[in-house]
Amino acid sequence: MCSVLFLDIVEYSKKSVSGQISLKERFNDFLSVAIRDVPLDDRIILDTGDGAALSFLGDVEDALQVALVLRESLRGENAHMDPPLLVRMGINLGPVRLVKDINGQPNIVGDGINVAQRVMGFSDPGQVLVSRSYYDAVSRLSPEYTEMFHYEGSRTDKHVREHEVYAIGYPGEFSDDKSIADQTTAKFKALQKRISSSWQVFAQRVSETWQSTAQRMGKIVQAVIAAYQAATPGKRAAYIGGVVAFFALIAVTEVMIHRTPTSDVQSAEAPAESAGEAAADSGASADQQQEEVAETGTTASAAKTAPATQKKESGSRTSTSSSRAKPSTSAARPKSTTKSKPKSQTNIFGIPMPVKGKPGYASVTCMDGSSVFVDGFSKGTIGRHALRISLDPGKHHLTITHASKPSVYSQVIFIKSGQTLYLHPSFCN
């Protein structure tokens, strides 16, 4: 029993000879760096032409460590290299037999390497998939490994054999520099694969239902035509009248449904009328005040030339007009105050969506060249300075790997909105 890592260069056979040589040389360089910490006696490498198959006879986790280091090396490659080096990876734990090839070199055969190749065939460029047997073994070594994987479901190979697979990273995830459009296309294709089978079943059921319904309707129409032909002229007239009445009833019902009720029209017009009345009242009160001011001014000017008796009358008239003006002033309506409306949540088809809070940050300090993963996604490589990561508020799983470390560091972190969490694990010392 040993762990087997199967690697495949994507679209290797479609490249020109010069392109294949470039891909193979770069692939061998990256693979040599990834396996340098594994003892020679613990590994057997089988060159498959467009990739490689590595059997690890020592620790079970060696296959996972080599896969992660190789994937990070591929991510760090220049995005403008032509042709781009895209690799699919699959890991399995199973039985193999050690044999000698035609050159006398050690070779491996058996179900362990065959299943690893099948699992690799289910992965997308840059994705690492593992079989159920390997996941069960490595997850019992440390809970940190369990948090790195997520269940991808069951897959069926060309030999109609079911394989339960687990993934590190999601379909199409390779590198931001490798073109985001390619990642989106890969994710869409993966989703399309998942729903294609269920969609085919649904379409088949709809087709069968439609055919059976059409057959039944055809029989009903034939029966109606036969009954009409066999009927007397009086019955035919009754049939035609019934059909006309049926369609007339449908038309009347449609008109009644779409007709706007009078009460709704009145309720809609009521606010407008009340607004008009309020405006008319305000206008009338303003005109009344202007008339009273004009009347008061006229009385005052007449009082200067009139005798004392007329002054009394003008005074009484002024007091009367002022007394009339007071109720209108006291009855004036207060100015309407508008309050700022709170911002409403985003609605999708009438369903309020939750408002996201401000992101938080995690500042990770570790050895130069350490790779950082959050929730299974790569967040980059640490250089001479700390790596600052923007994250949504809440719980996240942080994982750190380094080529010089035989194990993987994992930690659960909690991010608060607008705050920065500074991390320097002892793993990095």
Q: What is the CATH number of the domain that holds 96?
A: 3.30.70.1230
The model's pLDDT over 90-124, given as tens digits with 9 standing for 90+, comes to 999 999 998 888 888 878 899 999 999 999 999 88
The pLDDT score that the predictor gives to residue 31 is 93
202 and 172 co-located in one domain = no
Q: 23 in a domain, yes or no? A: yes
Quick check: 367 and 384 in contact, CB under 8 A? no
230 and 134 co-located in one domain = no
Of all helices (H) and strands (E), which one includes residue 29?
A: helix 17-34
Q: Give the list of residues 6+ apart from residue 414 with CB closer than 8 angstroms, or none.
A: 394, 395, 396, 421
The pLDDT score that the predictor gives to residue 284 is 46
Q: 28 in a domain, yes or no? A: yes
Q: 350 in a domain, yes or no? A: no
172 and 207 co-located in one domain = no
Of the candidates 235, 258, 281, which is a domain's last residue?
Answer: 258
DSSP, collapsed to helix, strand or coil, labels residue 372 as strand
Quick check: 149 and 137 in contact, CB under 8 A? no
120 and 203 co-located in one domain = no
Structural domain boundaries, residue 130: 2-178
Question: Residue-wise over 309-325: b if at least 16 C-beta within 10 A, else e?
Answer: eeeeebeeebeebeeeb
Burial class of 166 by CB neighbour count within 10 A (0 to 12, 13 to 18, 19+) = buried
- In the chain, how many domains are there? 3
8 and 135 co-located in one domain = yes
The one-letter code for the residue type at 246 is F
120 and 235 co-located in one domain = no
129 and 228 co-located in one domain = no
Q: 252 in a domain, yes or no? A: yes
Select, from the ranges 46-55, 79-88, 305-314, the one with the highest average predicted confidence (pLDDT): 46-55
Does 141 or 284 have the greater pLDDT score? Answer: 141
Q: What is the DSSP letter of 141?
A: T
The model's pLDDT over 147-162, given as tens digits with 9 standing for 90+, comes to 888 898 898 888 888 9
Q: What's this model's pTM, rounded to 2 decimal places?
A: 0.42
379-381-383-388 Cα dihedral, nearest 10 degrees: 10
> How does the average pLDDT of the chain come out, rounded?
77
Distance CA 123, CA 67 (A): 13
140 and 239 co-located in one domain = no
24 and 147 co-located in one domain = yes
49 and 89 co-located in one domain = yes
Q: What is the CATH number of the domain that holds 373?
A: 2.60.40.10
Quick check: 57 and 43 in contact, CB under 8 A? yes
Quick check: 72 and 381 in contact, CB under 8 A? yes
Q: 186 in a domain, yes or no? A: no
Q: 92 in a domain, yes or no? A: yes
10-159-98-35 Cα dihedral, nearest 10 degrees: 30
Listed in sequence order, the DSSP H helices in 306-345 are: 308-330
- Residues, the chain: 429
The model's pLDDT over 351-406, given as tens digits with 9 standing for 90+, comes to 555 556 688 999 999 988 888 999 888 888 888 888 999 999 999 989 998 888 87
DSSP, collapsed to helix, strand or coil, labels residue 6 as strand
The model's pLDDT over 317-354, given as tens digits with 9 standing for 90+, comes to 544 444 444 444 444 454 544 454 455 555 555 555 55
